[in-house]
Each structure stands twice: as C-alpha cells, then as structure tokens.
Amino acid sequence: MTISIKTSEEIAKMRIAGRLAGEVLDYITPFVKVGISTDELDKLCHDYMVNVQGCIPAPLNYAPHGHAPYPKSICTSINHQVCHGVPGDKKLKNGDIVNLDITTIKDGYHGDTSRMFYVGEPSIQARRLCESTHEAMWRGIRTVKHGSTLGDIGYAIQSFVEGLGYSVVREFCGHGIGKKFHEEPQVLHYGKANSGIRLEAGMIFTIEPMVNAGKAGIKQLGDGWTIVTKDHSLSAQWEHTILVTETGFEVLTLSADAPPPPEL
C-alpha cells in the first residue's frame, strides 16, 4: 500500500479544491426546499462549479471498475438512501433529509465534502440522526494527528454511534484523496483504538461516516449506484477532507457557512 504524503505545493492546491467544494454546499443551501427536484439541484451545482468556480465536477462520468459512468455532477441521497443517490425528477417534500455530496477538481486536485440538509421541518428522529452523525464525524476528526492511527478514527466514530443505538455502515469508508478521487488509505468508520496504519503529517483523506437509524445492512438499487438501507430506516452522512499536521489536523473543506463543530 502506497500512501501519498503531500508536498507543501500540493497541500496549497488541496486547500483551494477543498474550499471550493465547501462553497458549493454554501451556494446550494437556499435552494434545498420543498418542491425542488434533485435534478434541479444537480444542475445548479454543476453550473456553479463550471461557470463560477472554474472547476470540474468529479462525479460526472466517474467510472470505477465494474460501474457504468456516473451520470450526474453531484450525489443526492434522500431519507433511507445511504450514499451515491443519483439526481432525478423526484421532488423534495416537507420532512425529507437529504445528503448532498460534492467533489470538485481544481488544477488537477480534488476536494470532497458532503452535508445533510433538512427539507422543511424534519422529524425529531431525523434531526437527532443528522446531528449525531455530524458529531460522530467530528469525534473522528479530532483524533487525527501525526502518530495516531486509523483505528483511532474508526473507534471514536463507532463507539459513539453504537452507544446511541445507531449502526455504522461498513461497506463504504473514507479514502485518501489528491490528484486521484480515491487513493490509499481506506479510512474505516469502525475499528479498535491504537490499531492500523499510523498517521503522518502530509497525509490527506476524507472522514465520511454513514450512520443508519436502524440496522447496518444495505443494498444497491437497479441504477447501479444508489445505496439504501435494507430495513428502510433513515440514514445520514457528513464528510470533510482532512490534512494530518504535526500538531493535529486541518479541515480543508471548511467554508464560511459550514455547520460549526459540536462542543464535546
């Protein structure tokens, strides 16, 4: 396994790509409301990335081994959809929760982030799941520093989530990122403290826990991309791109309107 340690020049480019990805989420926020379709959200984000930011939407035509090319510029996962939801003509309705997953390419480098949105007024259960998943992500992020381990991240997330009675999706994980959309290492959202690869300053990867209100089981829909919970329970996900530093971490995808870290 070869894990890329980014140079100062690469880190500078990753900061730009990450900030731009976060700013797409800031831009789209006022449009996420009752009656808009996920296709319309996709088009708004696509046009903003291409025409305003001068970016390339990384998901568009992305085709990992065994997959048909992804047909849209963002992922939109609603309610019991776990990840990789394909935008379409479905209109958002009051009470929905939706994850918008954005990956930009700027000057050859990727920035990757996702955020949960409430459509109208969510249920108490839905709000609690989204807030808890956000906190789980940050609990994982806060373990990151030179010399800590990937297992520390997974343990922090898993122990918190399962303590609330939720489940961590295991088939999908965070990943290294840079010139490639997906690089080594894989960043599991479950695990044992002080186990696995030791982190080094200059590593960049995503932390993006997917948390189900019910059981952890998932399945893929017929479009070849959209992942849903087997038991139809709600699912939430948050994602940031993280740089390991000598003293801790830097979140590269923070933007002006990103929800602040929870107080722990």
- Domain boundaries of the chain, sorted by first residue: 8-251
Place of tokens 């940031």: 240
Residues of the chain with pLDDT under 50: none
- How many whole angstroms separate alpha carbon 3 and alpha carbon 1? 6
The confidence score (pLDDT) of residue 66 equals 83
Give per-residue pLDDT as tens, 243-257: 999 999 999 999 999
Handedness of CA 99, 63, 169, 111 (dihedral sign): negative
The confidence score (pLDDT) of residue 234 equals 98
Do 85 and 237 meet the contact criterion of CB atoms below 8 Å apart? no
- How many whole angstroms separate alpha carbon 220 and alpha carbon 10? 35
Neighbour-count burial of 88, counting CB atoms closer than 10 A to its CB (0-12 exposed, 13-18 middle, 19+ buried): middle
Strand partners, 183: 176
Residues of the chain by 3-state class (helix, strand, coil), percent to 5? 25, 25, 45
Q: pTM for the full model? A: 0.97
Neighbour-count burial of 62, counting CB atoms closer than 10 A to its CB (0-12 exposed, 13-18 middle, 19+ buried): middle
State whether CATH 3.20.20.80 applies to domain 8-251.
no
Angle CA 27–63–202, to nearest 5: 65
